[in-house]
Structure 1
Amino acid sequence: MEEADNDVQSVLIINSANSILFLLGCGGTMNILVTGAAGFIGSHLCEKLLQERENICIGIDGFVDPSLLQVKQRNIAQLLHHPRFQFVNDNLLTLDWGKWLEDVDVIYHLAGMPGVRTSWGKDFELYTLHNIMVTQRLLEACKRRSLKKFIYVSTSSVYGEKAGKVSESSPPAPLSPYGVTKLTGEYLCKVYAATDDLPVTILRYFTVYGPRQRGDMAFHRFIHCILTNKPIPVYGDGLQTRDFTYISDCVTGTAAVLHADNVRGETINIGGKERKSILEVIGILEEIIGKKANILFLEKNRGEPRHTWAEISKAEKLLQYRPTVPLEDGLRNEFNDLSSLYLGGER
């Protein structure tokens, strides 16, 4: 079955490539390259960017984790049919960047190895390769090109443990190897911006959720466990709070960088509309699903802050960013998506 899926995908890539080759270089178009395009956020971002008829997107994804192959194919299934989208499935460490950066105006760099819990121990090498080395190779390939913008997507994990709302001026103090590698990516961007005049903007995301969320992420796991009558693993006492950002709010803010003025050299938080504790989120899900959750409390994870809370006044000012989706509505949307996935016959 996987071979057949790959064959279909290859045909769609070729068809999209023919359209892109015709459109690239046409006057009035904005040629955008998105790394990590088959991921949770990357696929939504490509769809958002393509809502503007003058935008052409090249999406690149290395499918680093083979276990996510079917998930990522589902993420980009609709994009593969879009005449202004081309998908490139290749290893970003060995990719011929010169070929794919030709005529590109804007780069959104989302690709990387995610996850705090798995960044310890022997797996740290994967984080250095995909979060640091890939970023350095891409920046190196960009330094002699006339880019309009280079947007690097980072994370609230670079802040570490902070009290109250966290602004972009707060000194970074990551608690995990994952956070260290993402912060290193930020520093690399700043070095190339200073030495090679790259037009860098850094975005720091705060706990993004919604349809297509990876299976290892909290809300996806919670919903799946309730649907399948399995205990929900909660690390610590469940009273830790997060600033939750719904996916459509996240990509709206991210896409806004494309046309924003005065964002060169800026670091900008992208946060959500509501903060809740983990136990409060589970309570909302119980009401949405109509089933009681069985909670299994486990030892607190190292590397994760107890609270996150984004100060988003800079995003409001520079990007006219206004998160609009209430947490309950966003959770309902994610539940509906996962119901289709697990109960509706999808893979």
Structure 2
Amino acid sequence: MTIALGTLEDLPADYRKSMEEVHVSPLWPALRNLLPLHRPIAVTKSSLWSFGRIRPLVLRAGELTPIEKAERRVLVLCDPGRGTAFPQATATIYVGFQLLLPGEHAPAHRHIPSAARIIVEGEGAYTTVNGEKCAMHPGDLILTPGGMWHEHGHEGTEPVIWLDALDVPILAYLEGSYREEGKPQIVPSRPDGSAVEYSQAGLVPSRHYRAPRPNYPLLRYPWERTEAGLRAIAKHASSSEIAELEYINPETGDSCLPTLGFTAMMLLPGRVARPPIRSSSAVFHVIHGSGRSTVDGEILAWKSGDTFSASVFAEVEHIASGTEPAFLIRIHDAPLQQKLGFYEERPRS
């Protein structure tokens, strides 16, 4: 039985004023919110961001604000539970649509937060990360880990839009977020690692014993390989299984970034996917296809390019509509929770 604790209003006004003057506060009025029973009290409110509605705003940003005045031209997806004053989709995940127009160059910088890009539409753009040039194609996942120099350029003829995903809320909360500005990088005339050293699954470059391994050996994860892998899994999966692939560091098997995880999903039409209840929050981005998801009883209908969120311990169901499968990428903070020792999965009732 939970006992009701005293409130701030129970205390005399002069006592409350005296506490304010010396910058202290009583714990007991806030204790139930800090340590709720059985599960956290989520501030995050599940939401769906329609790409069809946001895309015109992203393109208009290109007309209104030149890249020189923006550095990174992004429209941030803001959690309705917090409001637009807070640039984050969940407590730990920042996502936003970024636009690069033909001929533009977003200057080199590096920052403490780790980032990844999911390419939404367009061809001809690229990201250079620590001297490695990564071409952007729809569906690709490209990493820009914390502390690594990166810049964006566009050699094509059409606008390119991608979805940024960063752990900024974590670093901002820890008062550890900052950036440094750099010079344009020298790019060798060779393909990125996904086409050379890490082009074959299960194989990594041979190294002399004790030779150091790169922290982030693979920076670009081509979508065509990811989709092929999902289709192969789905062909042999049982009716209760979801075809999923984790984006990992091929040298260590760890998540591709230290705080954020990325999971590619394939949903078959007419088959309801009911994943376990997870302690991690999540943002889902639709690569292609259509369907609907139920998040804590709220139905979210989505299609290609859309993005939606789920708070911690949310009950989630997915189903693809029509006759074709749907492909999504789930961005989540399970790697952070696992490192802190409190990641949890609960069975569905």
TM-score scaled by length of structure 2: 0.26
| Higher CA-based Rg | 2
Higher strand share: 2
Larger proportion of helix: 1
